[in-house]
A and B are shown apart, each in its own frame.
Chain A
Amino acid sequence: MLWLLFFLVTVIRAELCQPDAENAFKVRLSIRTALGDKAYVWDTNEEYLFRAMVAFSMRKVPNRETTEISHVLLCNVTQRVSFWFVVTDPSKNHTLPANEVQSAIRMNRNRINNVFFLNDQTLEFLKIPSTLAPPMDPSVPIWIIIFGVIFCIVIVATTLLILSGIRQRRRENKGSSEVDDIEDKLENMDTITNSTRCDSLDMKGGHINDVFMTEDERLTPL
């Protein structure tokens, strides 16, 4: 009789943990992808550790401080290393609601990951979204720093260039002002003697107008 009761209890417990059962979650581990050569083998001891971590997470939830390792049931362990788990209440007849389990796992996700040397991508709780790490924004974005450096260099170089240009021009002006006076006198003499030069009709600021020169060449071929 006792044997039959025990059998019934086991069957009921087994039914609590099944693929796609109510309040059951599937877990998938990718140990070899994460650790390569240092990968450990997934055996019943690792399963015990997993159940312990889930129980630990549940104990942190108010009203669930009495969760024991035996309340966490694992089933359908495959070679992939994937399995399903449920958490039962102390009476072992009902499973705890999914949202409680979910929030408990989410809050302790980091510690569970660290225990198995895995991360959010290699230790997947399907249907439990992980909280992503906040973006690592430094207080001053790096691009602004580099921009500031480059901009300052450019401004300093431009200022130096302009200043050296001003200084050069001042030196030239002092030297050439005497030469200019002599040239002006010569030009004035020219305009006095040849008052009706053809070129002066279309002269623009002392430039020689190529239009007239090219026309002359056309008229007098050699």
Chain B
Amino acid sequence: MAQALGLGLLVDEGEDKRPHWDNRLQYLLSCVGFAVGLGNIWRFPYLCQTYGGGAFLIPYLIALVFEGIPLFHIELAIGQRLRRGSIGVWTAISPYLGGVGLGCFTVSFLVSLYYNTVLVWVLWYFLNSFQQPLPWGTCPPNLNRTGLVEECQGSGTVSYFWYRRTLNITADIGDSGAVQWRLLLCQAASWALVYLCVSRGIETTGKAIYFTALFPYLVLTIFLVRGLTLPGATEGLIYLFTPNVQILLNPRVWLDAATQIFFSLSLAFGGHIAFASYNPPRNNCRRDAVIIALVNSATSLYASITIFAIMGFKAINDHGQCLDRNILSLINEFSLPELSISRDDFPAALLHLNTTHPGRVARLPLRACRLEDFLDQGTSGPGLAFIVFTEAVLHMPGAPVWAVLFFGMLFSLGLSSMFGNMEGVITPLLDMGVLPRWVPKEVLTGLACLVCFLSATCFTLQSGSYWLEVFDNFAASLNLVTFALLEVVGVTYVYGMERFCADVEWMTGRRPSLYWRVSWRVVSPLLLLGILLSYIVLLALKSPSYKAWNPQYALFPSQEEKLYPHWVQATCALLSFLPLLWVPGYALAQWLARHRRQDTQQDTGLKLQDGSGC
């Protein structure tokens, strides 16, 4: 009991005018906003579609229960108990583990850079959505106005707008090209907006989060209602959600489910630790963890229903257009009256004409039009948002409205995740006392945003999107999984399971049950170790390559698969391992400092034999 009293005293003394949430809703919304991000919209539906529709929910829910929720609970608990950002928390758990906090801080910084670049692209599309017709619906004419631009004709209007008019992409990662001033302007606006919301820490993000966390749900609902009324929605939903249980035998499914849960909850960034550190000490963090994790998964599911409905509409549309093109070829070739062959009559008419004039039919450029092929075209990542969805929006009546809503939703989703990222960067800086205390917080956040803005200008180069892929694949994935593993091991074995359970009991009023203890001790570390090993194996097996957009490529508009040059591979290795080096580096530095301090203490101890020191 005295221990609890001792804890209470300690916490009060350490209060030190730490900022706090206005109410619990702000805290929950901030965590939900951080966890729910762009990945919920464009990664989860793709995984669901690829891995057997409804059947994917089984490994996903298992991963959520045994990996997602326990890890999330640990983060919230240690943040709330130790009331520091990630660096402070880890130095408190053990002086040798401070490197974990530094590593998380570095990864948060790197992720902020490229995550904001995606927001810049979203902002660019948002700004371009306020016109009818939408600019990605038509090809521009070429210089002498005899035809359309060749690249656009080859690839399609939407891809042309994305690769040429937005990114102005080069054909190779080594060819940097010039800074795109349009994207640079949007980046300035984006970072200014982030600074506006983050300038006073949770005082300002707490107000902004009400809009940025709730607006996406409103838009998703609007899209869901609109999507379900579009033709083809039901086909899309049925085809994409139909479970294919066989696929669960593939180990890749389980790996991707575990990875998706891990990244979806934004674990090991230090952002959740920072958010929880502003809580009152006696807060039921267990309930919060369960609520937020469930809300995150529910949002993924909700978003995928909307996305599938609209993808179904797009598939039906494309299928119809494919049929129409074939019908037009037939009609033009055989000079039949217009509209004489309907879409339903097409197979019969084709058969008839094939038997009577096989030679002429064979010469026609007819494509096989199967609805399943169009439904199968799944994309994830920026491709879904900027190419596939924008094309779907073109065919919806009132296209600019839907485009504005969609990109507005993506922007606020990304912005609320940026708040968490920036908290993972700013809170440790504040706790470490990098700037003297008389410098106001706004200056620190301003400097952080300025440094991030200047560093991120490399992504506005013409090869920027290739670099973004490099950062996304190498800076975040391996490091975060390692840090999460160290987190679990650090809390369970270094801090001590008994001590941690006592802390949780003090904060929430109930001791963690067997489920939690078994997950923390055994299941979560094993799952994380499994993910880590498979990452390393997959990385070692395949030489890293990327897909380049090259108009001169023989198979254009397919993307050309190229290997990374050596200096880029070195950068990938640097990004993967540098954050990890903080852990042994900091431990070594601490050990050396201790050693030196022990020596000096021994010296002074010899001189003053009664030892008025400790």
Please give the residue numbers on chain A whose beta carbons come within 8 Å of chain B beta carbons, in ascending order: 28, 30-33, 78-82, 129, 131-135, 142-143, 146-147, 150-151, 154-155, 157-158, 161-162, 165-166, 169, 196, 198, 201, 204-205, 207-208, 210-211, 213-214, 217, 222
Question: Does B6 contact A154, Cβ atoms closer than 8 Å?
Answer: no
Q: Which residue of A lies closest to B186 (CB)?
A: A147
A211 to B6 Cα, complex, angstroms? 15
Which chain A residues border B613 with CB–CB below 8 Å? 196, 198, 201
Tell me what chain A mostly uses at the interface: helix, strand, loop, or mixed: helix
Which chain B residues border A158 with CB–CB below 8 Å? 192, 195-196, 199
Please give the residue numbers on chain B whose beta carbons come within 8 Å of chain A beta carbons, in ascending order: 1-3, 6, 10, 13-14, 16, 82, 84, 88, 91-93, 95, 124, 127-128, 130-131, 140-141, 145-148, 185-186, 188-189, 192-193, 195-196, 199-200, 204, 331-332, 335-339, 433, 437, 440, 442, 612-614
Question: Does A211 contact B337, Cβ atoms closer than 8 Å?
Answer: no
Question: Does B338 contact A33, Cβ atoms closer than 8 Å?
Answer: yes
A147 to B184 Cα, complex, angstroms? 12
Which chain A residues border B16 with CB–CB below 8 Å? 207
Q: Which residue of A lies closest to B146 (CB)?
A: A129
- What are 28 A-to-B residue pairs whose CB atoms are below 8 Å? A32-B338, A79-B335, A80-B331, A81-B338, A129-B147, A131-B146, A132-B146, A134-B145, A142-B127, A142-B131, A143-B130, A146-B127, A147-B185, A150-B189, A151-B188, A155-B192, A158-B199, A161-B200, A161-B442, A162-B199, A165-B440, A204-B433, A207-B16, A207-B433, A208-B13, A210-B84, A214-B93, A222-B2
Question: Does A30 contact B338, Cβ atoms closer than 8 Å?
Answer: yes
Which chain B residues border A166 with CB–CB below 8 Å? 440
Question: Does A79 contact B10, Cβ atoms closer than 8 Å?
Answer: no
A32 to B339 Cα, complex, angstroms? 8
Question: Does B82 contact A210, Cβ atoms closer than 8 Å?
Answer: yes
Question: Does B196 contact A157, Cβ atoms closer than 8 Å?
Answer: yes
Closest beta carbon of chain A to B48's beta carbon, Å? 34
- Give 6 nearest A-B pairs by CB, closest first: A78-B335, A210-B92, A143-B127, A132-B141, A80-B335, A198-B614
A165 to B195 Cα, complex, angstroms? 14
Which chain B residues border A82 with CB–CB below 8 Å? 332, 335
Which of B14, B92, B200, B339 is within 8 Å of A214, CB to CB?
B92
Which chain A residues border B331 with CB–CB below 8 Å? 80
Which of A142, A169, A196 is within 8 Å of B612, CB to CB?
A196
Inter-chain pairs besides A132-B146, A146-B130, 13 sampled, C-beta below 8 Å: A33-B339, A79-B336, A82-B332, A129-B146, A131-B145, A131-B146, A135-B140, A147-B185, A150-B127, A151-B192, A161-B199, A205-B437, A211-B91
Closest beta carbon of chain A to B357's beta carbon, Å? 15
A157 to B440 Cα, complex, angstroms? 18
